[in-house]
A and B are shown apart, each in its own frame.
Chain A
């Protein structure tokens, strides 16, 4: 099964993937809030995050992720379309969004436009 491999050390934070996603799902509309991939910035690092499963309740516990000497908020880089945060939910309709590997196969549209090497399609 094909998967998208994310290497956050390579991400430049240009957010071209967000627009690729948006343009592919609604023809002619560029809007990062409609994208199913978002690039979040925490400290000095960028985390491309692909929308995942919809949950109807928020988690009851919060986690921190420690990489090196930096602490990251796990909620920020969590991929769930979650009621706790406004991402991956279409603003007008409230519909939760989820990645569907859009675009011309083999590569999803975000991978096609990612030029930094942060997003890559890998086969298991």
Chain B
């Protein structure tokens, strides 16, 4: 067995007990590992209608087979559970070094079940597995938790090789917007997962190990990885733009194309883009790169070097943070956005979900639908202090922020204007205006994980034109493009590769690396079929949880209101028109239910049988 370690740790917090299990080879061949394996286990083991915050929900941490082998960008570990925010399946992508260290501790997967009686930390240090009480950690920020845990180790050298994943106060207090944080990195797409971890009274997981991960054909693997590093180096996006500014370089580009939302998607152009572009970012933060495990791109930027506010902590805001916490709330001050981003990382909030929630509340108060007295909070577009104040209150569940902390959908319904909620499946939209980028819009409507762009980054072809030259505003070829990207992403997540590498490499160029690493002879089509299998299984989970065609729909604003200004003026979303075509490409019926034929082709027929019963 190459790449995989083949072992899984099952922890039952109710019984305060754990056991090691073998993972069957058949399962690994069929679902690859990572996200695929996690989804399969969750599908098999929990009832999709279960209450997300009940002890019956499970939390699965799983690293892909390529993680820790040195495969380029092979760092991503997935957290899979039923989301507390959306009620759909949720899959976070952890960056940094946690996933690789999990492999070095001899495990592919940790399944957490039940609920501990009091706060605990799961510590897996050199094969010693301990569920230790963590009362003194409860209420601490994520960086404090990390430092405290490392200082508590008797061997200070062991602390150097220990990596932690933790929740902040938001997760502890079961705020549905909560995220999980590892190694100071906000994880991607984790809205609703922090609360599940909090509901299990699991404050953190610490890993350290000295096992090896083996590679099938070492010499060939080293050659292929060297070639891929060189390719990433010769592509301008991965070698210059991403390396210099991280994803924040997209801010200027999206603004030029009219994709950048402003004030809760009311507008999509923004005149003072100089204030927030790459030059402003460099001068605000004095950027320094930080890389995830085995990543030659190193797109994450630290903020610490010159700016005294951020000394020693925090990451510079990415495109997501600038879009969701900044412009969508009307805020253009980079120091405020950086501060809000840091609060998210320290207190464990998801920037998209909490930014979207606050933006919705801001639109309510701008339109006079929500008086200051009713929520006891000032929430005005463009006021950084309001944002920071609201985030802190949401994360600590204090005062009237309890209501806002329930999410954008909940407030928009509570105050009688559900049409002002800009999101799909209860999760606020990532900061891309779906009217100006049709493929992404269709993905937002249909995604199993809510409207998050990193589960199908069609932006790469629609705007950056890396592999194909497509126009963002047209719909030709988009349903097919969305399906392909969704499948590719499912495969890459399952293997443990990061999506950003697609900015410099074609999916096909990963195939020799995958095969030499795992000792397999996959072709690109085989892998894409596996991706499709995973996507369909997730879809089946969501359908059993009560989601169907009526949830594959964007907010009314995107169908009814044309973009009022800017370069994409007059555009409107055509996601509804494309939906039937998309279902057709997927082999689903017009209700969005996967057909028996496609499930058979994907070797999921036994599940279809279950579904019928």
Which A residues are within 8 Å of any B CB, using their own CB? 9, 12-16, 19-20, 22-24, 27-34, 40-41, 43-44, 76, 85-87, 91, 109, 112-113, 115-116
* Partner-contacting stretch, out of B9-17, B214-222, B344-352, B562-570: B214-222
Contact A30 B233 (CB under 8 A): no
Pairs A–B under 8 Å by Cβ, sample size 5: A23-B221, A32-B104, A33-B210, A44-B304, A115-B298
| In the bound complex, CA of A89 to CA of B211 (Å) | 14
CB contact under 8 A between A113 and B225, given known A16-B70, A34-B212:
yes
- Using an 8 Å CB-CB cutoff, how does the interface string of B205-236 with A read, 1 for contact, 0 for none? 00000111111111101100110010011000
In the assembled complex, B533 has its CB within 8 A of some CB on chain A: no
In the assembled complex, B290 has its CB within 8 A of some CB on chain A: yes
Residues from chain A with a CB closer than 8 A to the CB of B97 are 15
CB contact under 8 A between A31 and B294, given known A112-B226, A116-B289:
no
User: Apart from A14-B292, A31-B210, what are 12 other A-B pairs with CB-CB below 8 Å?
Assistant: A9-B288, A14-B296, A14-B298, A15-B294, A16-B296, A19-B69, A19-B70, A27-B218, A30-B69, A30-B213, A113-B225, A115-B233
| In the bound complex, CA of A22 to CA of B295 (Å) | 16
In the assembled complex, B293 has its CB within 8 A of some CB on chain A: yes
Contact A30 B222 (CB under 8 A): no
**Among the listed B100, B157, B232, B291, which residue makes an inter-chain contact with A13, where contact means beta carbons less than 8 Å apart?**
B291
Residues from chain B with a CB closer than 8 A to the CB of A115 are 229, 232-233, 296-298
In the assembled complex, B601 has its CB within 8 A of some CB on chain A: no
**Among the listed A13, A24, A29, A43, which residue makes an inter-chain contact with B312, where contact means beta carbons less than 8 Å apart?**
A43
| In the bound complex, CA of A47 to CA of B441 (Å) | 44
Residues from chain B with a CB closer than 8 A to the CB of A33 are 104, 161, 210
Q: Give the distance to chain A from B275, nearest Cβ to Cβ, in Å.
A: 27
| In the bound complex, CA of A24 to CA of B217 (Å) | 12
Residue of B nearest to A34 (CB): B212
| In the bound complex, CA of A91 to CA of B158 (Å) | 13
Residues from chain A with a CB closer than 8 A to the CB of B160 are 40-41, 76
Contact B219 A27 (CB under 8 A): yes
Residue of A nearest to B300 (CB): A12
In the assembled complex, B68 has its CB within 8 A of some CB on chain A: yes
Contact B293 A15 (CB under 8 A): yes
CB contact under 8 A between A85 and B295, given known A20-B222, A28-B216, A32-B104:
no
| Interface range for B | 35 or more
Contact B68 A12 (CB under 8 A): no
In the assembled complex, B302 has its CB within 8 A of some CB on chain A: yes
Q: Give the distance to chain A from B307, nearest Cβ to Cβ, in Å.
A: 12
Contact A19 B291 (CB under 8 A): no
Which B residues are within 8 Å of any A CB, using their own CB? 2, 68-70, 97, 100, 104, 155, 157-158, 160-161, 210-219, 221-222, 225-226, 229, 232-233, 288-298, 302, 304, 312
Contact B70 A20 (CB under 8 A): yes
Residues from chain B with a CB closer than 8 A to the CB of A43 are 312
Q: Give the distance to chain B from A65, nearest Cβ to Cβ, in Å.
A: 16
Residue of B nearest to A20 (CB): B70
Contact B217 A28 (CB under 8 A): yes
| In the bound complex, CA of A98 to CA of B70 (Å) | 21
Residues from chain A with a CB closer than 8 A to the CB of B104 are 31-33
| In the bound complex, CA of A120 to CA of B343 (Å) | 37
Q: Give the distance to chain B from A119, nearest Cβ to Cβ, in Å.
A: 13
| In the bound complex, CA of A31 to CA of B103 (Å) | 10
Residues from chain A with a CB closer than 8 A to the CB of B226 are 112-113
| In the bound complex, CA of A31 to CA of B302 (Å) | 27
Q: Give the distance to chain A from B560, nearest Cβ to Cβ, in Å.
A: 46
Q: Give the distance to chain A from B147, nearest Cβ to Cβ, in Å.
A: 11
Contact A29 B212 (CB under 8 A): yes
Q: Give the distance to chain A from B522, nearest Cβ to Cβ, in Å.
A: 19
Contact B213 A31 (CB under 8 A): yes
**Among the listed A13, A31, A76, A86, which residue makes an inter-chain contact with B211, where contact means beta carbons less than 8 Å apart?**
A31
Contact B215 A29 (CB under 8 A): yes
| In the bound complex, CA of A27 to CA of B216 (Å) | 9
Residues from chain A with a CB closer than 8 A to the CB of B297 are 115
**Among the listed B2, B215, B229, which residue makes an inter-chain contact with A113, where contact means beta carbons less than 8 Å apart?**
B229
Contact A30 B214 (CB under 8 A): yes
Residues from chain B with a CB closer than 8 A to the CB of A31 are 104, 210-213
**Among the listed B157, B215, B291, B312, which residue makes an inter-chain contact with A12, where contact means beta carbons less than 8 Å apart?**
B291
Contact A30 B291 (CB under 8 A): no
CB contact under 8 A between A30 and B215, given known A86-B157, A113-B229:
yes
Contact B291 A116 (CB under 8 A): yes
Residues from chain A with a CB closer than 8 A to the CB of B214 are 28-30
Q: Give the distance to chain B from A85, nearest Cβ to Cβ, in Å.
A: 5
**Among the listed A14, A15, A30, which residue makes an inter-chain contact with B212, where contact means beta carbons less than 8 Å apart?**
A30
Q: Give the distance to chain B from A62, nearest Cβ to Cβ, in Å.
A: 12
| In the bound complex, CA of A27 to CA of B217 (Å) | 8
| In the bound complex, CA of A109 to CA of B225 (Å) | 12
| In the bound complex, CA of A112 to CA of B226 (Å) | 7
| In the bound complex, CA of A30 to CA of B2 (Å) | 11
| In the bound complex, CA of A41 to CA of B210 (Å) | 18
Best-buried of B219, B222, B296 by chain A (most CB within 10 Å): B222
Residue of B nearest to A15 (CB): B293
Q: Give the distance to chain B from A42, nearest Cβ to Cβ, in Å.
A: 9
